[in-house]
Amino acid sequence: MPNNVWIIAVVAIIAMLSLALLALQRSRQASPVRDELPTEWPLAQRPIFSPEERALYRQLRAALPHHTVLAKLPLVRFCQPQDRNELRYWFNLLGPLHVSFVVCADNGRVLAAIDIERPSRPASKRAATIKQSVLEACRVRYVKCRTDQLPSAAELQMLVPHQSESSRPMVPGTLRDSQERRSTLAHAMRGRSADSQTQWYESGFAQDSFFAPETQRDPFADDGPAATGATQRPAPRPSSSWAGGRGPIRRSEDFGPSGDAAGHIIGRV
């Protein structure tokens, strides 16, 4: 009888060691090897724009010469969460999504976002709902247009508020005047950098400006309507989270008959 007990104990120990070794081997296989890089890079450059996107980009540049037009901009580049405990949740939700074009003021504030879609390949309802919810929360006008119904220059100019002549950039009168201004600006920047301490962030997940502590304040709080090119709106009521609570995401039908967060959809299907 004692011999049977010892045999059972030895078999149990061997089985446990085998399972432990098997689990360790699987964990090593599942973990990515960061030190190994490919010896060959079979990649080629691809164009940023499709023919329709290139046509719309030129139309935007011609219609809004005093604004900045950016292409293929991710949502996380112009929005930020109010609750830092939910950074990873919002980054995972919004990270894969981008808009075709954004129109910015001189100070970087996004005034309007434009998506261009093919009728044969419309965006998913989930992605459309997320974009509309995000842009409505950020008070950014959102417009969708089809590749076969691109907006005209007059329609594009209605996306942003009228910019007065006084807010347009001034051209220096002489070369000497321009050099003096650059010298004064460089001197001021050197003095500011000497007084402030630089804070570094590790590369990777936390390097994105979406997670930087300074993004928790409103970067446009000191800018007036003239600096942003947009009309002043009342501040939204504070909420527990960046999108007004972790409630159910609103459907696209909840944004009105046009489905637009802050304006009229051009060429809507």
Q: Which 3-state string (H, E, C) describes 8-30?
A: HHHHHHHHHHHHHHHHHHHHHHH
Question: Per-residue pLDDT averaged across 145-151, rounded?
Answer: 90
Residue 12 maps to a domain? no
Average model confidence (pLDDT) across the chain: 71
Question: Residue 70 has what pLDDT?
Answer: 96
Rounded percentage of the chain residues whose pLDDT exceeds 70? 56
Supply the angle between the helices 125-137 and 87-94 in degrees, to the nearest 10. 130
Residues 6 or more apart whose CB falls under 8 angstroms from that of 216 comprise 80, 82, 84
d(CA 7, CA 49): 71
Range scoring the smallest mean pLDDT among 11-25, 87-101, 160-174, 232-246? 232-246
pLDDT at 252 over 80: no
- The sign of the torsion formed by the CA atoms of 126, 245, 105, 180 equals negative
Q: Find the largest Cα–Cα distance for the chain.
A: 106
pLDDT tens digits, 59-80: 999 999 999 999 999 999 999 8
Nearest to 102 by CA among 134, 145, 142, 50: 142
Question: Per-residue pLDDT averaged across 249-263, rounded?
Answer: 41
pLDDT at 223 over 60: no
pLDDT: which is higher, 140 or 221:
140
Give the tokens for residue 10.
């030895």
pLDDT at 109 over 70: yes
> Which domain range does residue 241 map to?
51-160+225-255
Q: Specify whether the backbone of 3 is left (phi greater than 0), alpha (psi in -120 to 50) or beta.
A: alpha
Residue 267 maps to a domain? no
Residue 150 maps to a domain? yes
pLDDT at 90 over 90: yes
Nearest to 59 by CA among 146, 134, 155: 155
Residue 1 maps to a domain? no
8 Å CB contact between 110 and 102: yes
Question: Residue 8 has what pLDDT?
Answer: 80
pLDDT at 200 over 90: no
Question: Residue 168 has what pLDDT?
Answer: 44
Give 208: exposed, middle or buried? Use CB within 10 Å, 0-12, 13-18, 19+.
Answer: middle
Range scoring the smallest mean pLDDT among 31-40, 148-157, 216-225, 259-268? 259-268
Predicted structure pTM score: 0.53
Annotate 125-156 with b (16+ C-beta within 10 A) or e (fewer). eeebbbbbbbbbebebbbbbbbbeebbeeebb
Residue 98 maps to a domain? yes
pLDDT tens digits, 115-135: 998 888 888 899 999 999 999
pLDDT: which is higher, 33 or 161:
161
The 98-104 sheet, strands edge to edge: 68-74, 98-104, 110-117, 141-146
Question: Residue 127 has what pLDDT?
Answer: 92
d(CA 62, CA 65): 6
pLDDT at 188 over 70: no
Residue 119 maps to a domain? yes
For the beta carbon of residue 96, count every other beta carbon within 10 angstroms.
Answer: 11
Residue 88 maps to a domain? yes
- The sign of the torsion formed by the CA atoms of 251, 255, 257, 259 equals negative
Question: Residue 241 has what pLDDT?
Answer: 38
pLDDT at 249 over 60: no
Q: How confident is the model at residue 221 (pLDDT cuts 50, 70, 90)?
A: low
Nearest to 201 by CA among 214, 188, 190, 192: 214
Residue 185 maps to a domain? no
Question: Per-residue pLDDT averaged across 190-198, rounded?
Answer: 45
Q: How confident is the model at residue 206 (pLDDT cuts 50, 70, 90)?
A: very low
Q: Total structural domains in the chain?
A: 1
